[in-house]
């Protein structure tokens, strides 16, 4: 069923896939975050090995005006290394939890990347010229003897092969006792927030030795702990507003103008639980794994284990839209608990116009929901369906009874193939889907 | 109400799986994940609640009060020792009230099942003998009752303490913990003698005595003359049968939910040593279910565990 994402004739096609093909996947290569920059020309991925890979889109070719540019590797660098906290005898994983781009202010690009404990600001700059004709050093770098210099010359810039360099410009460390789960750049372009399980800190991008704690839900007695912070985000246009979600399925909106410490929320979003659906795992499946504001700032979307909900910021008592991602898993929660899949944290994202939302599932399936037509589609990111510009066939999971042709039964789903991270181009219908160690890029078919 | 039909897994399995997850998270790379462990503790709590409810239902369905009474009398005959007069009285009084609430069953079972533990002169060995000769299937049955009833009535302690059993009537709900702050109980299957002191559990047992406990556990099930008919209806917890009798919770059970969760949270910080009782160290990996019961029982002893975070 086509039509999701802006029009009845919209169909999704395979564009590219990045990453190794072998079945044996190294843990370090598993992609842990995907993010487009503000223009959509750059696409960054972070992996469990602490590496960041940035893809850049080619300029549209004049020969093929209707074909969009491909994404090619632009820069690769090691952002985080494994560390050891000697005081607590804990190893700190190098896995990149989140990447967030900063708005571009000059020729260089900047992004924030974070692992469990430390946030780093990376500047990615291009160098396509080098200076030649120094007075004090030879071309190979050896220093010249000053007494031998008899004349002076002005160094000249000569063109060279493009080199993309990434350098860590700021390191924001030692501000989080618990594991960082979110970072979010503020609309003022000067500050950003970072959230761990119990606290949220506000940073200034220029200042690394100081951070303001704005939310602290740690109880005086840890034995009374009942919920943790699971995600946080700044409002896209109101620089004083941010939201954070909890493991209890609630979202709190806070206004930084109200107080220095935003422990008291301005708005509290919670949908009452349906008592008839209570189970052993009710608390787990209601835990929110991701929260994202719409581009307009009027709505926000939350993802829990089985569904995606869209909330109107003006209505706190229930979401305005609820989409079931894989309701057929509700009867499988026991096994999913046993194999730990129930703890998977799926992300969600909006398209550029806020008319559609996307989130991942198992078996390398991902789902898109059109908010206007209420149509939804399930697609698969797989090598088999990856013919160049091949149209993706909608997939269907058979929940019971007779399995139709081309349907897949719930028991045949591969729970090791999970799509947790997806991203939608800010302006076009181009999506990036991370399937374990592979990055798939799909785009709409141009008619 | 928790939907118990959703899967084949029972509460006990979930409890052992959950505890295994918590134990494993200790060695995972990156340190203990607070969020995941919090969620696991919620599952633990839910499973425990269901287990408790099912136990209650089981007790409530007991029809054979008269048999219990009969056995009670038999035991009294077998044990000519001078029990506190009030216990004997109590057994008579209590047993006559057994048709009522499950709570009343408990003191009856206590009197019937554990006469020996009240007597300091008795060694564990002698206690075993007493129990064995009594072939007290009802006593075993009653132990089940008492452990469950105990959990819900925070003010009620098993009566077998060194001090006089202050029974004036059968309204045990009014029994104050002040009178009885130390309880010694013998597990009929494993012959573990356990002392609960002001809500804190001490495992006094001699590991040697427990070795041969598996067979008796199975055998006992079929010895329950009155119980056999019931056993089919009851959810099957037998894989860990011996551990059931060791399931002594903190008497302050209404605090148990949060205290269990919170104890787990604090246990994370104390390095999980609290999850493995002294006795069960070697058995932890062998029988997760056994440990789960042990662990739940020992949680009360860790309320002041250090939070390492």
Model confidence pLDDT, tens digit, residues A162-199: 999 999 999 999 999 999 999 999 999 999 999 999 99
| pLDDT for residue A72 | 96
- Which of A280, A305, A343 would you mutate first to test chain B, the one with the most B CBs within 10 A? A280
- pLDDT tens digit string along B3-58? 444 444 588 899 999 999 999 998 888 888 999 999 999 999 999 988 888 888 88
Question: E-strand spans in chain B?
Answer: 182-186, 193-197, 200-203
Those residues of chain B whose CB sits closer than 8 Å to some CB in chain A are 1-3, 6-9, 14, 17, 21, 29-31, 33-36, 38-39, 42-43, 46-47, 50, 258-259, 261-263, 265-266, 269, 303, 307-309
Which residues in B154-179 are b (16+ Cβ under 10 Å) and which e? Answer: bebbbbbbeeebebeebebeebeeee
- Residue B259 clears pLDDT 70, i.e. is over it: no
- Determine the Cα–Cα distance for residues A229 and A176; give it in Å rounded to an integer: 13
Count CB-CB contacts under 10 A for residue A422: 23
Tell the residue number behind the tokens 């495992």, with chain if given: B203
A-B Cβ pairs (cutoff 8 Å, strict): 103
3-state secondary structure of A12: strand
Interface contact A178-B309, CB threshold 8 A: yes
- pLDDT tens digit string along B207-217? 333 343 444 43
- Between the CA of residue B184 and those of A186, A269, B158, B159, B196, what are the distances in Å? 62, 50, 8, 9, 6
Interface contact A222-B21, CB threshold 8 A: no
Is 0.90 topped by the overall pTM? Answer: no
Interface confidence (ipTM) of the complex: 0.91
Find the helix or strand (DSSP H, E) in which B221 lies. helix B214-223
Interface contact B21-A340, CB threshold 8 A: yes
Question: E-strand spans in A235-313?
Answer: 241-246, 251-255, 267-269, 290-293, 299-303, 307-312
- Tokens matching residue B113: 């099942």
Tell me if chain B has a CB within 8 Å of the CB of A77: no
Interface contact A222-B265, CB threshold 8 A: yes
| pLDDT for residue A447 | 54
Q: What residues of B are in contact with residue A337 (Cβ under 8 Å)?
A: 14, 17, 43
- Determine the Cα–Cα distance for residues B270 and B235; give it in Å rounded to an integer: 35
Mean pLDDT of chain A: 93
| pLDDT for residue A371 | 96
Out of A85, A278, A281, closest to residue B1 by CB: A278
Out of A221, A228, A281, closest to residue B43 by CB: A281
Minimum distance, in Å, between the CA of residue A276 and any CA atom of chain B = 8
Tell me if chain B has a CB within 8 Å of the CB of A87: no
Could you tell me which residue, A145 or B229, shows the higher pLDDT? A145
Q: Of A71-80, B25-34, B68-77, which one has max mean pLDDT?
A: A71-80
- Residue B287 clears pLDDT 80, i.e. is over it: no
- Determine the Cα–Cα distance for residues A108 and B299; give it in Å rounded to an integer: 56
> Under a CB-based contact definition with an 8 Å cutoff, are residues B93 and B110 in contact?
no
Count CB-CB contacts under 10 A for residue A230: 26
* Cα angle value A140/A145/A147 (rounded, 5°): 150
Minimum distance, in Å, between the CA of residue A46 and any CA atom of chain B = 17
Judging by beta carbons within 10 Å of its beta carbon (0-12, 13-18, 19+), is residue A355 exposed, middle or buried?
A: middle
> Under a CB-based contact definition with an 8 Å cutoff, are residues B186 and B124 in contact?
yes
Of all residues in chain B, the one with the smallest CA distance to A116 is B30
Tell the residue number behind the tokens 């089940």, with chain if given: B144
The pLDDT confidence band at residue B130, using thresholds 50, 70 and 90, is very low
| pLDDT for residue B51 | 87
Of all residues in chain A, the one with the smallest CA distance to B36 is A343
Q: What residues of B are in contact with residue A228 (Cβ under 8 Å)?
A: 34-35, 38
- Determine the Cα–Cα distance for residues A248 and A231; give it in Å rounded to an integer: 12
Q: What is the mean pLDDT of residues A270-276?
A: 92
Counting every residue written for chain A, the total comes to: 447
Mean pLDDT of chain B: 51
3-state secondary structure of A364: coil
- Determine the Cα–Cα distance for residues A195 and A233; give it in Å rounded to an integer: 9
């Amino acid at each position: 069923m086509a039509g999701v994402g802006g029009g009845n004739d919209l169909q999704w096609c395979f564009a590219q896939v990045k990453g190794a093909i072998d079945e044996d996947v190294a843990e370090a290569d598993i992609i842990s975050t995907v993010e487009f920059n503000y223009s959509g020309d750059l696409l960054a991925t972070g992996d469990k090995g602490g590496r960041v890979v940035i893809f850049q889109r080619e300029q549209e070719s004049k020969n093929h005006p209707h074909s969009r540019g491909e994404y090619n590797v632009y820069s690769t660098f090691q952002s985080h290394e494994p560390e050891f906290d000697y005081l607590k005898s804990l190893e700190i994983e190098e896995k990149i939890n989140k990447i967030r781009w900063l708005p571009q202010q000059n020729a260089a690009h900047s992004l924030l990347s974070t692992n469990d404990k430390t946030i780093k600001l990376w500047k990615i700059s291009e160098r396509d010229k080098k200076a030649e004709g120094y007075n004090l050093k030879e071309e190979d770098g050896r220093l010249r003897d000053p007494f031998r210099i008899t004349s002076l010359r002005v160094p000249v810039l000569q063109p060279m092969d493009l080199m993309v360099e990434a350098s860590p410009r700021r390191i924001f460390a030692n501000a989080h006792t618990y594991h960082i789960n979110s970072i979010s750049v503020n609309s003022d372009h000067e500050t950003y927030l970072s959230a761990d399980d119990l606290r949220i800190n506000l940073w200034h991008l220029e200042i690394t030795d100081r951070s303001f704690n704005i939310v602290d839900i740690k109880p005086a007695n840890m034995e009374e702990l009942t919920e943790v912070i699971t995600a946080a985000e700044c409002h896209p246009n109101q620089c004083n507003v941010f939201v954070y979600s909890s493991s209890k399925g609630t979202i709190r909106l806070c206004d930084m103008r109200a107080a220095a410490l935003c422990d008291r929320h301005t708005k509290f979003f919670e949908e009452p639980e349906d008592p008839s659906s209570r189970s052993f795992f009710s608390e787990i499946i209601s835990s929110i794994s991701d929260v994202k504001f719409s581009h307009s700032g009027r709505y926000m979307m939350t993802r829990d284990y089985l569904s995606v909900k869209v909330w109107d910021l003006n209505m706190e008592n229930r979401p305005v839209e609820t989409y079931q991602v894989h309701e057929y898993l509700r009867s499988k929660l026991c096994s999913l608990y046993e194999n730990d899949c129930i703890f998977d944290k799926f992300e969600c994202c909006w398209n550029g116009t806020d008319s559609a939302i996307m989130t991942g599932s198992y078996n390398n399936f991902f789902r898109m929901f059109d908010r206007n037509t209420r149509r939804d589609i399930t697609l698969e990111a797989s090598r088999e369906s990856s013919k160049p510009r091949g149209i993706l066939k909608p997939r269907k999971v058979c929940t019971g009874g007779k399995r139709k042709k081309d349907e897949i039964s719930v028991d045949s789903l591969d729970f090791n193939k999970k799509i947790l991270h997806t991203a939608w181009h800010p302006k076009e219908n181009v999506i990036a889907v991370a399937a374990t160690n592979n990055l798939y890029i799909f785009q709409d078919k141009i008619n | 109400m928790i939907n118990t039909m959703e899967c084949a897994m029972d509460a006990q399995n979930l409890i052992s799986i959950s505890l295994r997850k918590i134990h494993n998270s200790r060695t995972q790379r990156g340190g203990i994940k607070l969020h995941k462990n919090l969620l696991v503790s919620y599952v633990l709590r839910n499973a425990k609640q269901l287990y408790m409810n099912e136990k209650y239902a089981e007790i409530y369905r007991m029809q054979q009060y008269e048999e219990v009474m009969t056995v009670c009398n038999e035991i009294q005959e077998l044990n000519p020792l001078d029990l506190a007069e009030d216990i004997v009285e109590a057994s008579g009084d209590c047993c006559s009230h057994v048709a009522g609430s499950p709570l009343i069953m408990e003191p009856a079972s206590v009197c019937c099942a554990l006469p020996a533990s009240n007597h300091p002169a008795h060694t564990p060995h002698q206690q075993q003998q007493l129990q064995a000769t009594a072939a007290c299937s009802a006593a075993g049955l009653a132990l089940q009752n008492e452990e469950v009833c105990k959990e819900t009535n925070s003010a009620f302690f098993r009566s077998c303490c060194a001090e006089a059993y202050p029974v004036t009537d059968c309204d045990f709900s009014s029994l104050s913990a002040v009178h009885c702050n130390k309880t010694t109980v013998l597990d009929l299957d494993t012959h573990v003698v356990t002392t609960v002191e002001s809500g804190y559990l001490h495992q006094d047992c001699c590991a040697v005595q427990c070795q041969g406990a598996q067979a008796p556990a199975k055998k006992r099930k079929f010895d329950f003359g009155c119980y056999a008919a019931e056993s089919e209806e009851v959810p099957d917890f037998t894989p860990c049968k011996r551990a059931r009798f060791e399931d002594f919770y903190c008497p302050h059970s209404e605090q148990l939910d949060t205290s269990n969760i919170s104890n787990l949270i604090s246990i994370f910080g104390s390095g999980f040593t609290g999850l493995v009782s002294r006795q069960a160290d070697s058995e932890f990996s062998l029988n997760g279910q056994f440990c789960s019961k042990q662990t739940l029982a020992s949680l009360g002893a860790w309320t002041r565990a250090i939070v390492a975070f």
